[in-house]
Structure 1
Amino acid sequence: MRAAYALILAACLSACGDDKQVDEKNASTAQVAKKVADAGMKLTPGRWELTMKFNKFEVEGMPPEARQQMQAMMGQSRTFASCLTKEETEKPDGSFFGQTGEDCRYDSFTMGGGKIDAAMTCKGTEGEGTASAKMTMVGTYSADAYDMTMAMKGMAPNGKAMAMEMALVSKRTGECKGDEDK
């Protein structure tokens, strides 16, 4: 899930309303963050509310009880609030995108004209139970909102195949209140 949040944060940061475009291939999250910052693409600082809804979550060999719990969660949404500071929008780095190492890299990252299309590969670390995955993200954005779909396919830490798809909708709702999840 850390890699999923890297994609979400990349989408958050990559909001702008002009014709600037960022195209990267085989790039780290830090490289993408720098390109986005250099292009002047920023979100509006303040309180952001993200609503996340799982449309699909499957793990090979999932026990029936766990499958029933996941099915009950499908279609339900969860909302999280975060406070995005002016400093975070001015100087993003790899940690802002959720990853600072080289385990996850963007295969491609294209953003401009209010649209984003990205693909990322994360490699698990042998012996640590870390999952490996390929993720895609497609959607629309502005300085104050975004709407996208993220899909992930890969191997769970137990070595079983897994697939997930979620819808993400976020918007700036005003100034930070101090009660955000972050």
Structure 2
Amino acid sequence: MKRFATVAALGVALALAGCGKSDDAGKADGTATADAGATAGPATGPIKREAGNWKTEVKLVKFDMPGAPAAMKDQMAKQFASAGATETCLTQEQADQEDIANAMAKGYGDACTWTKNAIGGGKIDVAGTCTANGQKVDLAMAGTMEPKKTDMTITTKTAAPTGGQMEMQMQVTGTNIGPCKA
């Protein structure tokens, strides 16, 4: 059960910090990938959020773990529902340096290999495999990102402590609600 709790905690941390500050584009080891900052559609360059106070809400969409009792699934749903929204200040410097794929990797100890890193044209499509506490975790993040609003689905898949594969999917929405609070 401890391994499950670790993966769930990392998923939540990822959801809340997945759009944080980063210094390098591309793979977790700092080398650039061929499609880092790639665009989808007519827009060019990476997507950038506007600086300001961001309200983030995380909703558990799917939790599937073979052999897990229904009460455990209900408890997970209740924990996500009771967490409520969080607010964070995104400074101009952080917005200028933002790199979503690398921020995801940092949430998993920089032990990630990205198979997909397409971010641009208002779309995000990032996928890869990370190792957290000796456990392999497949990650995917897809959605939209605009200067004042984000809407992403984050999916994690890993070996379940009960056997088989556990899958957790979260819907993460963020809205710029104005200037940072003092």
Q: Under a length normalisation based on structure 2, what TM-score does the superposition of the two structures give?
A: 0.67
Cα gap change, 1:106/1:11 in structure 2, threshold over 3 Å: closer, same or farther? farther
Is 1:115 aligned to 2:123, yes or no? yes
Query: Offset of 1:50 from its aligned partner?
Result: 0.9
Q: Which of 170, 175, 179 is equivalent to 1:166?
A: 170
Q: Secondary structure at the match of 2:103?
A: coil
- Counterpart-to-counterpart distance in 1, 2:12 and 2:29: 12
Secondary structure of 1:111's aligned partner: strand
What pairs with 1:65-104 in structure 2 (closer than 5 Å)? 65-70=71-76, 72=78, 78-92=84-98, 97=103, 99-100=105-106, 101-104=109-112
> Aligned partners of 2:29, 2:181: CA distance in 1, in Å?
29
CA contact (8 A) 1:117 1:136 kept: yes
Q: Confirm whether residue 58 of structure 1 aligns to residue 64 of structure 2.
A: yes
CA drift at 1:7: 6.7
Residue deviations 1:152-175, cap 9 Å, x none?
A: 11125x474311111111110001
Higher normalized strand content (fraction of residues):
1
Alignment RMSD, CA only?
Answer: 3.6
Per-residue deviation, residues 55-91 of structure 1 (Å, max 9, x unmatched):
1112233244323323556777731111111121233
Residue type matched to 1:167 in 2? Q
2:49 maps to 1:43: yes
Match of 1:142 in 2: 146
Note the residue ranges of structure 1 that are not aligned, 5 or more in a row: 14-22
Q: Is the 8 A contact 1:149 1:167 kept in 2?
A: yes
Residues 42 and 89, structure 1, Cα contact 8 Å, conserved in 2: yes
Contact 1:11 1:146 in 2 (8 A): no
SS of alignment partner, residue 55 of structure 2: strand
Contact map agreement 1:55 1:75 (CA 8 A) in 2? no
2:180 to 165, 176, 181: 176
What's 1:28 paired with?
Answer: 28
**Structure 2: 5+ residue runs without aligned partners?**
1-8, 38-44
**Contact 2:66–2:162 (Cα < 8 Å) also in 1:** no
- Match of 1:97, SS state, is helix
Which residue of 2 is the match for residue 19 of structure 1? none
Worse-superposed segment, 41-50 or 97-106: 97-106
Number of matched pairs: 159
Instruction: State the shift of 1:120 in Å.
Output: 2.0
CA distance in 1, matches of 2:64, 2:17: 24
Deviation at 1:52, TM superposition (A): 1.1
Structure-1 separation of matches of 2:147 and 2:29: 20
CA distance in 2, matches of 1:40, 1:118: 13
Q: Distance in 1 between matches of 2:173 and 2:153?
A: 9
- Contact 2:127–2:139 at 8 Å: present in 1 too? yes
Identity rate, percent = 25
CA contact (8 A) 1:48 1:170 kept: yes
Deviation at 1:41, TM superposition (A): 4.1
Measured after TM superposition, the shift of residue 132 of structure 1 is 2.2
